[in-house]
Amino acid sequence: MTTRKDFLRGQRIDPKPITGRETVPELVDNAFLAYNAGRLAEGCRLFSERMLEDDVTVGMSLTGAMTPAGLGMSTLIPLVEAGFIDWIVSTGANLYHDAHFGLGLSMHRGTPFADDVELREEGVVRIYDIFFDYEVLLSTDAYIREVSAGPEFQRSMSTAEYHYLLGGYILRREQALGISRKSLLGVAHECGVPIYTSSPGDSSIGMNVAEQALTGSQLRLDVSADVNETSAIVFRAKTQGGKSGVLIIGGGSPKNFVLQTEPQIQEVLGISEKGHDYYLQITDARPDTGGLSGATPAEAVSWGKVDPDKLPDTVVCYLDNTVGFPLLATYALAKRKPRRLRRLYHQRAEMMRELTEAYQEAKADRDARAEAATAERRP
């Protein structure tokens, strides 16, 4: 039974005055004591102290227009290079806009109060308070079509394979332009971090791939391969003495895709498992509207997505990602040394073999039990 003493064990609220000389970790630990600041502080400590242990494989989902706002360069790339993110599920839009920077194209700070009719007439595209030339879209479209027409793309492949190949081309374009570390796709290629897109047709990359299909291209993005490969990553993490953690930036389809790996393993493939070990989300979505973006870790337990025994190791911060995510990254990079890169992209075949063998064993066991049950019912 919980006593009064138990309830009052939390840190006493007695912060030191802010001086302006604090580091981000000092500010978070000293002044972020309650409400969503308190949740962000909890999230920072969960991520840096537990999720970044050497035995935890960290998957991240990404939604919202984060790369146009520069978070690819400022936040994502440093985390990938430090080995703090092992695999990614992103909207295609984030990857498409990420490519602009790797191609030497520019986006600019603007205002959300501009006249959009006037912007259209002037050939300027707006993402809230970000402006860029319409030619940026046309140039990126042309580059994606040109690269995707190459012989190595003329087959069925997972979105991780497609993004790895595209990232290699962007990396070489950066080198030719004399720039570096501008594109998440390029850095992920270099670090062997697989990037998946849960809805590959729902972006300008998918639109350009679809256009090429009309001209005879054999490129096909295999969504079944994505489902199985991401499940294989989590299966490997959990069956080799390690743990699985998920960092969810936003919500939407990528959030579900990174979490559905556990129901795929348990419910569909019939392999005994208990769910992800760590769950950290930054979102502005409310849980009471019934949408997946705001669904809580507790609700995810009912689906088998999160290990019920690890529910205390879950945090949701209700914040704007452009505020919360850089603070989280700064805290982690200040507190933890870089981890060894897992380079999971290059281990996909072996991980798929492990998952397939486990599935076949589980299926054979189910079939044998079903046959035995049928035999018992025979007269």
Catalytic site positions: 305
Listed residue (175, 99, 168) closest to 140, CA to CA: 99
Take residue 216 and report the two structure tokens written for it: 């005879």
Q: Is the CB of residue 104 less than 8 Å from the CB of residue 179?
A: yes
Q: Where are the beta strands (DSSP E) in the chain?
A: 56-62, 87-90, 108-109, 124-127, 130-133, 156-157, 195-196, 220-221, 243-249, 278-283, 314-318
Q: Is 296 exposed, middle or buried (0-12, 13-18, 19+ CB in 10 A)?
A: middle
Cα–Cα dist 100/88, whole Å = 19
The half-sphere exposure of 155 on its side-chain side, counting CA atoms within 13 A, is 7
| Beta strands in 161-304, from DSSP E residues, in sequence order | 195-196, 220-221, 243-249, 278-283
Please say whether the beta carbons of 296 and 333 come within 8 A: no
The helix/strand/coil state of 330 is: helix
